[in-house]
């Protein structure tokens, strides 16, 4: 698959306009992959060359060493002094989870973060993840991390043989969305045991559109 194939599919979706800015979603369906085996699970964080075309919100749960820096680079900052207001208040933590795309944690207070926030953030996939670089030492550079996270998407296949992720918005140029698609597709293929042979089909859709099949033989809108 090449970038031009994704761009052709995106162009096919142009007639499906709405009064709001829709999000593009990439769907990669897998085959001949036994996801009951943990070694076949797919999980990765992909830095998109063109970004997502929308604001990505980040919450930093950090100690005093990083608090001031976090105020400059993150949308919300929570320190241990704030923990009491969240203890036992699941609604408040749920609001945090709904409002933010990523959570950053300072490593030396990670145990307390897990104790106070884990039961709500964990099931929603919002716990700070070291694989994404979101668990940091007290001397971390949060500006660089935040910039990277705002261009990053998580891709995963653990229970269902399908990967779905936001890949851009209508406000972006088709070629930029296509470049993002290519970055994710390439990453997924490299993660699979048999690379492209484990990919059954690839589709792209807008929020309110039918999907378009991406193919080297030509794109097709599925109705």
Cα 52 versus chain centre, distance: 10
Return the domain boundaries, the chain: 3-53+152-221, 58-149
Q: 204: closest CA among 70, 55, 24?
A: 24
CATH says 58-149 is which class? alpha beta
Distance CA 168, CA 183 (A): 12
Rounded to the nearest 10 degrees, the angle between the axes of helix 142-149 and helix 64-73 is 40
Name, in order, each residue with C-beta under 8 angstroms of 94's C-beta and a sequence gap of 6 or more.
Answer: 120
Q: 105: closest CA among 78, 131, 134?
A: 134
Query: What's the token pair of residue 115?
Result: 């104790």
Q: Are strands 162-169 and 23-30 parallel, antiparallel or unpaired?
A: antiparallel
Q: Are strands 162-169 and 135-136 parallel, antiparallel or unpaired?
A: unpaired
Cα 53 versus chain centre, distance: 13
Residue corresponding to tokens 């500006």: 143
Q: What is the pTM of this model?
A: 0.88
What is the sign of the dihedral through the CA atoms of 70, 76, 82 and 83? negative
Distance CA 153, CA 134 (A): 13
Q: Tell me which architecture the domain covering 3-53+152-221 has in CATH.
A: 2-Layer Sandwich (3.30)
H or E, element range at 57: none
In residues, how long is the chain? 223
User: What does each of the 223 residues of the chain score in pLDDT, given as a tens digit?
Assistant: 899 999 999 999 988 989 999 999 999 999 999 999 999 999 999 999 999 999 999 999 999 999 999 999 999 999 999 999 998 899 999 999 999 999 999 999 999 999 999 999 999 989 999 999 999 999 999 999 999 999 999 999 998 999 999 999 999 999 999 999 999 999 999 999 999 999 999 999 999 999 999 999 989 999 8
């Amino acid at each position: 698959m090449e970038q031009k194939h994704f761009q052709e599919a995106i162009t096919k979706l142009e007639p499906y306009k709405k009064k709001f800015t829709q999000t593009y979603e990439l769907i990669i369906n897998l085959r001949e992959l036994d996801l009951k085996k943990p070694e076949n699970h797919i999980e990765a964080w992909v830095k998109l060359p063109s970004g997502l075309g929308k604001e990505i919100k980040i919450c930093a749960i950090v100690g005093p060493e990083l608090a001031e820096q976090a105020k400059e680079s993150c949308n919300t900052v929570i320190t241990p002094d704030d923990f009491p207001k969240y203890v036992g208040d699941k609604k408040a933590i749920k609001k945090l989870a709904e409002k933010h795309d990523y959570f950053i944690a300072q490593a030396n207070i990670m145990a307390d973060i897990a104790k106070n926030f884990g039961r709500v953030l964990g099931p929603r996939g919002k716990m700070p993840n070291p694989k994404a670089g979101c668990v940091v030492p007290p001397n971390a550079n949060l500006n660089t991390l935040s910039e990277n996270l705002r261009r990053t998407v998580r891709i995963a296949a653990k229970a269902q043989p399908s990967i779905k992720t936001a890949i851009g918005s209508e406000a972006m140029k088709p070629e930029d969305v296509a470049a993002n698609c290519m970055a994710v597709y390439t990453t997924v293929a490299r993660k699979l045991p048999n690379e492209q042979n484990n990919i059954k089909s690839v589709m792209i859709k807008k929020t309110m559109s039918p999907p378009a099949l991406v193919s080297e033989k030509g794109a097709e809108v599925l109705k």
